[in-house]
């Protein structure tokens, strides 16, 4: 009888034992996207912005200190991360890029998770166009509202504003007396927490993508976040000029802050901004980041309160960085460091906590990483590498260089140099090289120096190999 009792007990608990040992209980993913976010925060060694919740997340996971976007424009970057495929001159190369158009045969992350039994939820800005591959979202709230002004004065100014490239222009910043949930980013946060409650009650695994627009222009947030910063102490970029020796295409033809100039009021059509407008923009950017940080804190706390944290990987990323007046630039759209370097944090049960890694990382690495964490077989054509080995041992250097691009420019970046070449079709338009150990702000282009000829040749050959690779059809290998 005693032996029979033991046998029955073992049979009773065996399913639970198998679940814990084989991991058949599906692992949740909380996929947090932030628009236009550069890592000028405490956990990255800068104290410009107040972000206690993101700093806390970094202390609970692994922070990647050399993480980069593969293209510094939102539509293309988001299509790339969701397909795991690198951009090229003809694929994922503009804010209007769609995964469903540029790579219609690709299996996107939301499709992959849906087909593997997950509830796939998209709140806020994930794809640039919310209807891109929308059939593979279990629920989709219709995407972001990027200029939901709450100040009546700002609303009136936009209604009566001059026409820009995307309709009436509005103010570039505001900070009215409203609560945290007046803006769309606040509503998205509440919606996501409520959905997590529903999914837990239904015992459904989820791939939940929550996309914050802040700190994308316009810099709009409740007044208390603006008041967190002393306006007179906000520092301006000390290199608001074209880098010495740099080619024309890297500056005016490639960038010129068109997004800011064409869509917002009180911005000159050309030339440098006044110091006061620059200070207002930097102040507004910082305030928007602090607002977004509080909402992310609410979101993660909601996950913890539901007891879901121990079975959920949190991945926080930005689609690209952002200029705050460096080289006279605002926004992104470049291969300069400010546009391509991003914050990137993974907090996953059973992996490194409170550590950093210097291993180079690209957004295309997200796709295979999430597949490995959830035991899903990825497609064989994706371009990235799983980061789980680094998550187990942060000292591993999985990559020592990354590749990024924007329009005609394509760049290779490692710990020592950033090298960019510009091509329009087959026509070569110029290059630039920066020594990141001596000139991290990239103020002096050294590509034309005779003593750097071998360096230029070395990096040019790397770019040619990558160019030939990305110009092939990744799925059909043509």
Q: Is 74 a catalytic residue?
A: yes
Query: Is there a contact between 410 and 467 (Cβ–Cβ < 8 Å)?
Result: yes
Structural tokens at position 321: 């960085």
**Residue 30 DSSP symbol:** E
Beta-bridge partners for 355:
62
Of the residues 74, 331, 371, 383, only one is catalytic, namely 74
Q: Where are the alpha helices (DSSP H) in 184-235?
A: 184-201, 223-226
Q: How buried is 153 (Cβ within 10 angstroms: 0-12 exposed, 13-18 middle, 19+ buried)?
A: exposed
Contacts of 478 (CB under 8 A, 6+ apart): 472
Q: Is the peptide bond before 75 cis (omega within 30 degrees of 0)?
A: no
Of the residues 10, 17, 27, 128, only one is catalytic, namely 128
Neighbours of 124 (CB within 10 A): 26
Query: Is there a contact between 188 and 212 (Cβ–Cβ < 8 Å)?
Result: yes
Beta-bridge partners for 173:
219
Alpha-carbon span 99 to 82, nearest angstrom: 8
Q: Is 320 a catalytic residue?
A: no
Query: Token pair 């794809």 is at which residue?
Result: 127
Query: Is there a contact between 35 and 319 (Cβ–Cβ < 8 Å)?
Result: yes
Beta-bridge partners for 330:
324
Alpha-carbon span 196 to 203, nearest angstrom: 10
Query: Is there a contact between 215 and 36 (Cβ–Cβ < 8 Å)?
Result: yes
Residues labelled as active-site residues? 74, 128
């Amino acid at each position: 009888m005693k032996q029979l009792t033991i046998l029955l007990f073992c049979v009773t608990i065996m399913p639970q034992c198998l679940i814990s040992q084989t991991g058949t209980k599906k692992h949740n993913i909380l996929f947090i996207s932030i628009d236009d976010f550069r890592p000028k925060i405490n956990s990255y060694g800068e104290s410009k912005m107040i972000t206690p919740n993101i700093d806390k997340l970094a202390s609970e996971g692994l922070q990647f200190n050399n993480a980069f976007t593969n293209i510094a424009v939102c539509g293309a970057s988001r299509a790339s991360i969701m397909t795991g495929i690198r951009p090229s001159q003809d694929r994922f190369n503009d804010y209007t890029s769609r995964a469903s158009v540029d790579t219609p045969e690709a299996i996107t992350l939301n499709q992959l998770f849906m087909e593997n039994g997950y509830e796939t939820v998209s709140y806020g800005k994930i794809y640039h166009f919310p209807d891109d591959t929308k059939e593979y979202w279990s629920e989709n709230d219709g995407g972001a509202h990027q200029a939901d002004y709450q100040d009546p004065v700002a609303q009136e100014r936009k209604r009566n504003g001059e026409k820009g490239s995307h309709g009436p222009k509005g103010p570039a910043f505001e900070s009215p007396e409203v609560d945290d949930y007046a803006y769309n980013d606040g509503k998205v946060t509440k919606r996501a927490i409520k959905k997590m409650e529903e999914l837990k009650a239904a015992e459904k695994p989820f791939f939940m993508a929550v996309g914050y627009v802040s700190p994308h222009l316009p810099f709009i947030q409740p007044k208390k976040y603006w008041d967190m910063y002393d306006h007179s102490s906000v520092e301006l970029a000390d290199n608001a000029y074209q880098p010495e020796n740099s080619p024309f295409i890297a500056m005016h033809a490639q960038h010129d802050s068109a997004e800011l100039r064409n869509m917002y009021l009180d911005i000159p059509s050309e030339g440098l901004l006044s110091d006061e407008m620059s200070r207002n923009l930097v102040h507004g950017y910082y305030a928007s980041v602090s607002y977004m940080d509080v909402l992310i804190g609410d979101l993660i706390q909601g996950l913890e309160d539901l007891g879901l944290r121990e079975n959920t990987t949190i991945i926080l990323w930005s689609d690209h960085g952002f200029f705050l007046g460096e080289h006279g630039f605002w926004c992104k759209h470049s291969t300069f460091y400010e546009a391509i370097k991003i914050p990137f944090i993974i907090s996953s049960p059973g992996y490194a906590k409170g550590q950093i890694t210097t291993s180079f990382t690209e957004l295309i690495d997200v796709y295979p990483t999430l597949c490995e964490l959830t035991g899903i077989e990825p497609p064989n054509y994706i371009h990235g590498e799983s980061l789980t080995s680094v998550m187990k041992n942060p000292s591993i250097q999985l990559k020592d260089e990354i590749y990024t691009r924007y329009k005609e420019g394509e760049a290779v970046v490692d710990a020592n140099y950033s090298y960019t070449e510009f091509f329009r079709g087959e026509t070569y338009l110029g290059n630039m090289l920066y020594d990141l150990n001596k000139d991290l702000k990239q103020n002096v282009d050294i590509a034309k120096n005779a003593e750097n000829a071998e360096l230029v040749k070395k990096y040019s050959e790397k770019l040619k190999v990558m160019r030939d690779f990305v110009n092939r059809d990744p799925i059909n290998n043509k």
